Amino acid sequence: MAYILNIETSTTNCSVAVSYNGKQISLKEDNNKQYSHAERLHLYIEEALNNAKINTKTLDAISVSMGPGSYTGLRIGVSAAKGLCFALDVPLIAIPTLDSLSRKIKITEGYIVPLIDARRMEIYTAIFNSNYSCIESTSAKILEHTSYLNYLESGSVNFVGNAIQKTKTIINHKNAVFHEELPSAYQMCEMSFEKFKSKQFEDLAYFEPFYLKDFIAFTKKNI
């Protein structure tokens, strides 16, 4: 049995969830761009715990979205998570942001492509199948007209994330399906519990968010 506090701050959505054995029991999030995560995160943590009717001493672990995403947002989330882990003497669990974002949608066939906006025509991306198994690992790429073409020609490709609008201007294919979503702590709940059960914990002294800096153009691949 495990109570886990899940923190997601990789984009403009400041999101906190409390889960029990992988099930979300409390969620507080807001995509209000007029306020920074630094102003809201600790208030949201307190509110999420209150709504779950527990306090910090009840927590068995802290889970945090590890990136890629906003440099400042990730730093704020990871710093808060590590601080709580040190204070409460509980383990830290890191959840890859694109993995949790892919779980925003459910499909029975085809591909899921989570997208996080970087700058200009640049994105953070990965590719998953309908079972959420990773086909292409997280990378930083530049959107082009030929991006994902091999996948698009073989079946439906579900793009999900906060880079949908600019992706639509580049990719126009009958098999492309677009879902404008933001990462949320809700999708982290089941994932963090699985890592808790298998004791996949991070080293508090050395853990840092996953930053990507080198953007590359897409290259054609056989699938």
- Domain of 174: which CATH number? 3.30.420
**Token representation of residue 183:** 């990462």
Domain assignment present for 216? no
CATH of the domain at 78: 3.30.420.40
Q: Is the peptide bond before 68 cis (omega within 30 degrees of 0)?
A: yes
Helix axes 71-88, 37-51, angle to 10 degrees: 40
Residue 182 confidence (pLDDT) above 70? yes
Asked whether residue 76 falls in the same domain as residue 115, the answer is: no
pLDDT of residue 57 exceeding 60: yes
Two tokens, residue 82: 């590590």
Q: Which parts of the chain are beta strand (E)?
A: 3-8, 14-20, 23-30, 61-65, 92-95, 111-119, 122-129, 134-142, 157-161, 176-180, 216-217
Name the pTM for this structure: 0.93
Give per-residue pLDDT as tens, 122-138: 999 999 999 999 999 99
- Range name among 29-43, 57-71, 189-203 with the lowest pLDDT average: 29-43
Print the domain residue range for 37: 3-96+183-197
Average pLDDT for 17-26? 98
For 61-75, the pLDDT digits (tens) are 999 999 999 999 999
Task: Supply the mean pLDDT for the chain.
Answer: 94
pLDDT for the residue numbered 120 = 86
**For residue 73, what are its two tokens?**
């947002």
My answer on whether 112 and 27 are in the same domain is no
**In contact, 16 and 5? CB cutoff 8 Å:** yes
Q: Please tell me whether residues 147 and 92 are part of one structural domain.
A: no
Is residue 217 in a domain? Answer: no
Same domain, yes or no, for 53 and 17? Answer: yes
pLDDT digits (tens, 9 = 90+) for 154-171: 999 999 999 999 999 999
Q: Is residue 28 part of a domain?
A: yes
Whether 221 has a pLDDT exceeding 70, the answer reads no
pLDDT at res. 213: 65
Mean pLDDT for the stretch of residues 34-61: 94
Q: Average of pLDDT values for 38-54?
A: 96
Does residue 107 sit in the same domain as residue 122? yes
Is 88 found in the same domain as 187?
A: yes
**Residues 128, 98: Cα–Cα separation, whole Å:** 10
The number of distinct structural domains making up the chain is 2
CA angle 49, 66, 2 (to 5 degrees): 40
62 within a domain of the structure (yes/no):
yes
Same domain, yes or no: 134 and 145: yes
Q: Do 84 and 130 share a domain, yes or no?
A: no
In contact, 16 and 44? CB cutoff 8 Å = yes
